[in-house]
């Protein structure tokens, strides 16, 4: 199956955060999260990386903007999720996002007119 762009907020299950990463100043990857009403469990982390950007106030420092995680789920889907250090909407904006998903099984999705199509 091809990778699909999603760009939707996810809701981490709070009790499942990786607190070891939080102790060194990084976001704790939740081991479970909810997307579109369904709970997903992280089976493995394939890779991690960071997006950085220049200071917005003129200093020469670089700041981490996003922490990225490519994961597999217990359903064998591959997902790219990220933690946004500066969420849209200020402190109340979503911080965890599902960027894309590559599903290993064929799924049916319903489009606006109520008909189903395969992805």
Q: What is the pTM of this model?
A: 0.80
How far is it, in rounded angstroms, from Cα 76 to Cα 36? Answer: 18
Statement: residue 115 has pLDDT above 80: no
How far is it, in rounded angstroms, from Cα 9 to Cα 7? Answer: 7
Percent helix, percent strand, percent coil in the chain, to nearest 5: 10, 55, 40
Rg (CA), the chain: 16
- How confident is the prediction for the chain on average, in pLDDT? 86
Higher pLDDT, 27 or 86: 27
The whole-angstrom distance between residue 27's C-alpha and the CA centroid of its chain comes to 12
Statement: residue 35 has pLDDT above 90: yes
List phi, psi (to 5°) of 111: -95, 175
């Amino acid at each position: 199956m091809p990778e699909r762009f999603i760009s939707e907020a996810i809701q981490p299950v709070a009790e499942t955060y990786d607190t070891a990463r939080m102790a060194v100043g990084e976001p704790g990857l939740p081991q479970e999260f909810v997307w579109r009403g369904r709970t997903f469990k992280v089976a493995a982390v394939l890779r991690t990386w960071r997006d950085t950007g220049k200071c917005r106030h003129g200093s020469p420092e670089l700041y981490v903007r996003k922490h990225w995680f490519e994961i597999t789920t217990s359903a064998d889907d591959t997902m790219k999720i990220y933690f946004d250090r500066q969420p849209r909407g200020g402190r109340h904006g979503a911080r965890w996002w599902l960027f894309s998903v590559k599903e290993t099984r064929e799924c049916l999705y319903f489009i606006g007119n109520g008909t189903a199509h395969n992805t």
